[in-house]
Chain A
Amino acid sequence: MWKMLLPMTGEGFKVSISVFLITLVFSLPLGVVVAALRRSGSRLVQNLVAGYITLMRGTPLLLQLMFLFFGFPFVPVIGYAFGRYEAIAIAFVLNYAAYFAEIFRGGIQSIDIGQWEAGAVLGLTRFQTFTRIILPQVIKNVWTAVANEVITLVKDTSLVYILGVSDLMKAAKSVSNTFSSFTPYLFIGAIYLLIIAILTKLLSYVEKKMEYY
């Protein structure tokens, strides 16, 4: 069993970690942009962004994955057949960006308006004020909430099984079916636990680093 489980776990690990990293790298900045757009002066932009967030948070990620891969090719005019990994990346990034955007929106609102005004009086543009004064404070304020989402993301990567991709969970399932044993699931569970334990340590370390003020 282990001869089959270990290499499959290695392959599955690569897939799960790739989904995790790609999602994180793209959804975090996108979340900041979406949060900033929610404060846009244009009512149309505000409504579009609000609609996107409602859609992403109001439907299961599993359904979004299935729609992008199986359903999107049949959408009139804009329909397109994404590859498995493309569909996974797009669904995860769009879904997590919506959650991050809501976290960042709360974080931006928590910053005293006086910080914006101080930037303006000193001659800075709104963009300079946002990136250099507001955002660093927001990141500190929302770190715990973002860390929670990051931990959830590790576990959510197991949803990619629905598109037939061999992640950690799929590896456990295959070996479990072959050997009629629950042990592969326990083994994979331990790996998830280990990843999350390492991440938690890392996130706490960064959190402490930010506590200088």
Chain B
Amino acid sequence: MSLQVKALSKSYGNNIVLNQVSFVVQPGEIVCLRGKSGEGKTTLLRCLNRLEKPDSGQILIDEIDIMVENKGLSIAEKIGLVFQNYNLFPHKNVMENLLLAPRLLKQGENEMKKRAVELLKQLGIEDKADQYPFQLSGGQKQRVAIARACMLSPQVLCFDEPTSALDRESIEGICRIMLDLSKQGMMILIVTHDEEFAERIAMRSLVLEKGRMTEGDAKGDDTKFNLFVK
């Protein structure tokens, strides 16, 4: 089980944003996608989540090409995304935000409710279940977004600029959560231009430059992160 991106290309007119990008993420890995603004990091994340259609290439999760698979549920069970601005549903409370998609995708109601409660507890926001997004802080909203993305137990969880609107304390919290999720075997892919954060959380870094991907530094373990959170 792994995420394999093979020769992924995407251009807008003459502007080549992704040029034959290939990489692999293994279970339990936290990988940061780094690069300057406009180098295609977010486009790559959007392609992985089928919000953009690549011109060519393959995205395989568990050996299944998610660009060929056309059932929404199957994709949502493989890959999830936590948006930069969270995109919570403002008219739904936290619990409803978590349960909306599983209900529409006809997942078992009781089982999903149980999972939602577990996730909220794991993320330390179990007391916010009845609150609406406007009543939450930035860090709490992000946790709700993570919980919502985790409801269908995706194998890969992507984060788009997760630290952009968070204070130091919330960043530490999010680091712990990411580490917890990776320990459960989830593959975590983070787009960030926050060098300090990437240094601390990433087990491996990938760098996008002019549409090409290069391998950054590899740490191989999370000792540095543990130092950080203490």
Q: Which positions in A face B, CB cutoff 8 Å?
A: 112, 114-115, 117-125, 128, 132-133, 136-137, 140, 212-213
Q: A117 — which chain B residues lie within 8 A by C-beta?
A: 51, 83, 87
Q: B197 — which chain A residues lie within 8 A by C-beta?
A: none
Q: How far is the CA of A46 from the CA of B153 in the complex (A)?
A: 39
**Using an 8 Å CB-CB cutoff, how does the interface string of B55-87 with A read, 1 for contact, 0 for none?**
000000000000000011111110011010101
- Is the contact region of chain A dominated by helix, strand, or loop, or is it mixed? helix
A123 near B87: Cβ-Cβ < 8 Å: no
Count of A-B contacts judged by CB separation below 8 Å = 61
Q: A213 — which chain B residues lie within 8 A by C-beta?
A: 90-91, 132-134
* Residue picked from B51, B71, B132, most chain A C-beta under 10 Å: B51
Q: A120 — which chain B residues lie within 8 A by C-beta?
A: 49-51, 72
* Residue picked from A112, A132, A140, most chain B C-beta under 10 Å: A132
Q: B74 — which chain A residues lie within 8 A by C-beta?
A: 123
User: Given A114-B83, A117-B83, A213-B132, A122–B91 Cβ distance below 8 Å?
Assistant: no
**Using an 8 Å CB-CB cutoff, how does the interface string of B134-171 with A read, 1 for contact, 0 for none?**
10000000000000110010000000000000000000
User: Given A117-B87, A133-B89, A123–B132 Cβ distance below 8 Å?
Assistant: no
Q: How far is the CA of A178 from the CA of B85 in the complex (A)?
A: 68
* Residue picked from A117, A122, A140, A212, most chain B C-beta under 10 Å: A122
* Residue picked from A114, A118, A213, most chain B C-beta under 10 Å: A118
- Tell me, yes or no, whether B101 is within 8 Å of chain A by CB: yes
Q: How far is the CA of A124 from the CA of B133 in the complex (A)?
A: 20
**Additional A-B contact list (19), CB under 8 Å, known A121-B81, A123-B152:** A114-B85, A117-B87, A118-B89, A119-B101, A120-B49, A121-B50, A121-B76, A121-B80, A121-B149, A122-B100, A122-B148, A122-B152, A123-B76, A124-B72, A132-B104, A133-B100, A136-B91, A140-B91, A212-B132
B105 near A115: Cβ-Cβ < 8 Å: no
21 contacts between A and B (CB under 8 A): A114-B87, A117-B51, A118-B83, A119-B101, A120-B49, A120-B72, A121-B51, A121-B149, A122-B100, A123-B73, A123-B76, A123-B101, A124-B104, A125-B72, A132-B100, A136-B91, A137-B90, A137-B91, A212-B132, A213-B90, A213-B132
Q: How far is the CA of A128 from the CA of B104 in the complex (A)?
A: 8
User: Which single member of A115, A121, A123 contacts B89 (CB below 8 Å)?
Assistant: A115
Q: B77 — which chain A residues lie within 8 A by C-beta?
A: 123
**Closest B residue to A128 using CB positions:** B104
Q: How far is the CA of A114 from the CA of B51 in the complex (A)?
A: 10
Q: How far is the CA of A124 from the CA of B87 in the complex (A)?
A: 15
**Using an 8 Å CB-CB cutoff, how does the interface string of B80-123 with A read, 1 for contact, 0 for none?**
11010101111100000000110011000000000000000000
**Using an 8 Å CB-CB cutoff, how does the interface string of B33-59 with A read, 1 for contact, 0 for none?**
000000000000000011100000000
Q: A125 — which chain B residues lie within 8 A by C-beta?
A: 72
